[in-house]
Amino acid sequence: MTTRSTRPAVFFDRDGVLNHDTSYLFESAKFKWIDGAREAVRLVNQSGYFAFIVTNQSGVARGLYEESDVLTLHCWMADELAAVGAHIDAFEYCPDHPEAPIERYRRDSHRRKPAPGMITDLMTRFPVAADRSILIGDQPRDLEAARAAGIRGLLFREGNLETFVRQALGSH
């Protein structure tokens, strides 16, 4: 059995952390980056951490947009990040909601935060050092998901995300 060398990761919530939360965002024309967000991702990359996005997207379950819209926006974000020399190693989203009007998305999912499934799925696919990894979220459910996955969760409310990440990585 071979062992892969592990690296720490930063798991970013999307809406409210990387971009301003405008409620059920799926269009790049309405997307507005949080100050320092692109630079924060670049800092994570340069520090040797994996950079992941883990985001609940119940707008799909509510019929407000399609999964293809989420993927299109994530591709656009990847292009925007590449323009400043940054990248996301994997985008994860959960379209499910237990009270969804669209039946195929109406379920309690182990991937919907506060459940840890998106995080644990990524830790299975990538050689993540959980003891040195963090999740940055803007809601208590993000911190609950981090705790359930066995990683540290940090609450980001406002300000410059690069400054916040620099402090978080420095204290880790």
Do the strands 134-137 and 90-94 form a parallel or antiparallel pair, or are they unpaired? unpaired
CB 78 within 8 A of CB 65: no
Q: Of 13, 89, 96, 142, which is the active-site residue?
A: 13
Contacts for 81 with CB less than 8 Å, ≥ 6 apart: 38, 41, 42, 87, 88
15 is catalytic: yes
Q: Which has the closest alpha carbon to 34: 69, 67, 80, 68? A: 80
Consecutive H or E run containing 166:
helix 161-170
Q: Of 15, 89, 96, 138, which is the active-site residue?
A: 15
Active site residues: 13, 15
